[in-house]
C-alpha cells in the first residue's frame, strides 16, 4: 500500500467537476483517507511548489493555485503514486491521453485540473505538508 497527495485545482473546482473527479478516483480502487477544501495562501502555495521556484511559470502558478479553493486529498492504494499520475494524464491537457482527467477537465498546461505527487519522497513531503496524523482516517 502506498499513499500520495492529490489536489483538485481551482479550475476544476470552478468547473463544478469535483464529484466527477472523485468518481474516477473511486472507480479506480483508490481510497480517500483524508480530504479538505481550502483556499491556499500565497505562502502555503509557494511552500508546496518550492521545487519550481526558479521556473519561469512559478509566479503565474502561485497566482492560479491561490485564485480559488482547492480540494486536498490523501489517496491510498496499491502503486497509487504511479497509477494516480496515469489517471491524471500528462501535464499539458492537449497532450494527455483520451479519458485522463487532464484531457477531460484541464484547460491548459497551467490550469490542468489536478495534481499528483511524482515519487515516494515527494508523496511523503506533500501529504505531510497538508495533513497531520489526526486528519488521516
Ligand atoms: P505535474 O503537475 O504534471 O507534475 P510539474 O512539471 O511538476 O507538472 O509542474 C507543476 C505544475 O506547474 C503543473 O501541474 C502546471 O500547473 C504548472 N506548469 C508546469 N509546466 C508549466 C508551463 O510550462 N507553463 C505554465 N505552467 C506550467
Ligand atoms: Mg510535479
Structure confidence at residue 69 as a pLDDT band (50, 70, 90): very high
- Digit-coded pLDDT (tens) for 45-63: 999 999 999 999 999 999 9
**CATH number, position 10:** 3.30.70.141
Q: In this structure, are residues 126 and 51 in contact, taking their beta carbons and an 8 Å threshold? A: no
Distance CA 75, CA 62 (A): 23
The angle, 0 to 180 degrees and rounded to 10, between the axes of the packed helices 80-88 and 18-27 is 130
Is 52 labeled as catalytic in the residue annotation? no
Residue-number span of the structural domain to which 94 is assigned: 2-135
Mutation test residue for ligand 1: of 7, 67, 93, 109, the one with most atoms within 8 Å of CB:
109
| Mean pLDDT within 113-132 | 98
- Ligand 1 binding pocket (C-beta < 6 A) is 52, 57, 61, 91, 109-110, 112, 115, 118
Number of domains the chain contains: 1
- Digit-coded pLDDT (tens) for 76-94: 999 999 999 999 999 999 9
Instruction: Give the closest residue (by CA) to ligand 1 atom 15.
Output: 110
| Mean pLDDT within 64-76 | 98
The pTM assigned to this predicted structure is 0.98
Write down the pLDDT at residue 51.
95
Instruction: Give the closest residue (by CA) to ligand 1 atom 25.
Output: 110
Question: Which long-range CB contacts under 8 A does 133-136 form with residues at least 24 apart?
Answer: 135/34, 135/36, 136/33, 136/34, 136/74
Mutation test residue for ligand 1: of 49, 100, 112, the one with most atoms within 8 Å of CB:
112
**Ligand 1 atom closest to Cα of 111?**
16
Amino acid at each position: 500500500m502506498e499513499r500520495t497527495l492529490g489536489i483538485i485545482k481551482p479550475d476544476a473546482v470552478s468547473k463544478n467537476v469535483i464529484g466527477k473527479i472523485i468518481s474516477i478516483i473511486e472507480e479506480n480502487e483508490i481510497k480517500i483517507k483524508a480530504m479538505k477544501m481550502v483556499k491556499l495562501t500565497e505562502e502555503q502555495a509557494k511552500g508546496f511548489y518550492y521545487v519550481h521556484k526558479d521556473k519561469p511559470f512559478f509566479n503565474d502558478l502561485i497566482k492560479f493555485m491561490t485564485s480559488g479553493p482547492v480540494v486536498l486529498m490523501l489517496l491510498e492504494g496499491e502503486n497509487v503514486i504511479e497509477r494516480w499520475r496515469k489517471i491524471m494524464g500528462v501535464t499539458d491537457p492537449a497532450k494527455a491521453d483520451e479519458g485522463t482527467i487532464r484531457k477531460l477537465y484541464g484547460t491548459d498546461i497551467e490550469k490542468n485540473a489536478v495534481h499528483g505527487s511524482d515519487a515516494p519522497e515527494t508523496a511523503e513531503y506533500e501529504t505531510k505538508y497538508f495533513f497531520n496524523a489526526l486528519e488521516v482516517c
